[in-house]
Structure 1
């Protein structure tokens, strides 16, 4: 139940995130669908490759494809849902997808009996994979490579779940909400990770 719910939330949120980026870049209808789908399913595909799950498992997610298709279509036909803050909606959808898929990836690794390092990696790659593919296809610098705090929030899922500290659906929900809130706060207050340049040496 928890797994399926996180899958639906993450897929829906990342699909909408992809649509927002596609419309910001003025893509046509096919471009919108392609970017929406690769954002929604890119993270899961990368996770499956990492832990050895056959890529063909992706094609068994028919209901999720339909959910993503309907969401993409609605947002494309009725873009006014985003009003004048489309970019902030894109960040919000991305934060939800990041949180849901990072938690799901950590659960996946923990259920397979893998060490905490694998749970952290699975959380990071599942949470950021779809957004990474989206940004690359849109010609943008991937968020996880920028100074703003993005991929670091996946540690909130990978560490406690990988160590077995959190195993209950309520705990998973707390992690998801925490990542979304912290991600949005980091954008609003422009929190940044330390960075260095060669000129600083």
Structure 2
């Protein structure tokens, strides 16, 4: 039941995120649907490929597809004065999708008795895979590659679940809240991981 809840939360959040990005890039309604679908389900497809689940399993989620289509249609039909405020929440809905799908992916791998390394990979790919595909299709630098901390929070989810720190539904929901909070803080306060550049400095 907990797995299904996070699946629904992640699908809704990423469908909204994909639709908002598509409208920011001035795509037509077909583009909105395509970007929203790949954002909501792309991470799950990549995860399935790597942990040995048939990709065709994605088509068994008919209800989630319908839910995603409904959400994207609703966002597309919202008045412009409402959407102007919604675009400010794009990073927030993406944070919710990241947390929900990272936990869901980790649970998926754990239920298949995969080792910790596979649990972490499943968390990262499920949490960020859809967003990467969305940003590439929108011609943007993927969030996971930007300076603000992003994928590290998915790794945190994989570690917590793979090591058995978060097991019960309450613990998983607390973990969800923690990841969303840290992701919001990281883009609000520009938290960054160490990086180097090979570009020559201009003086």
TM bucket (normalised to shorter chain) is over 0.9
TM-score, normalized by length of structure 1?
0.95
- Compute the TM-score of the two structures, normalised by the length of structure 2: 0.94
Q: CA deviation at 1:88?
A: 2.6
How far residue 18 of structure 1 moved from its aligned partner, in angstroms, is: 0.1
**Cα distance in 2 for residues equivalent to 1:24 and 1:142:** 15
Asked if the contact 2:39/2:131 (under 8 Å) is kept, the reply is yes
Q: Which runs of 4+ in 1 moved over 6 A?
A: none
1:20 is matched with 20
Give the unaligned 5+ runs of structure 1.
Answer: none
Q: Count the aligned residue pairs.
A: 201
Shift of 1:138: 0.3
Alpha-carbon distance in structure 1 between the residues aligned to 2:30 and 2:39: 14
Q: 1:40 to 1:79 in 2, by over 3 A?
A: farther
- String of CA shifts for 1:79-125, please: whole Å, max 9, x gaps: 44744344331111110000000001111111111111111111000
Equivalence for 1:168:
168
C-alpha contact (below 8 Å) 2:38/2:133 kept by paired residues: yes
Q: Superposition pairs for residues 40-189 of structure 1, below 5 Å?
A: 40-80=40-80, 82-189=82-189
Native 8 Å contact 2:47 2:122 kept in 1: yes
Greater mean deviation of Cα atoms: 139-148 or 12-21: 139-148
1:95 and 1:171 mapped to 2: Cα distance?
19
- Runs of 5+ unmatched residues, structure 2: none
Please tell me the root mean square deviation across aligned C-alpha atoms, in Å.
1.5
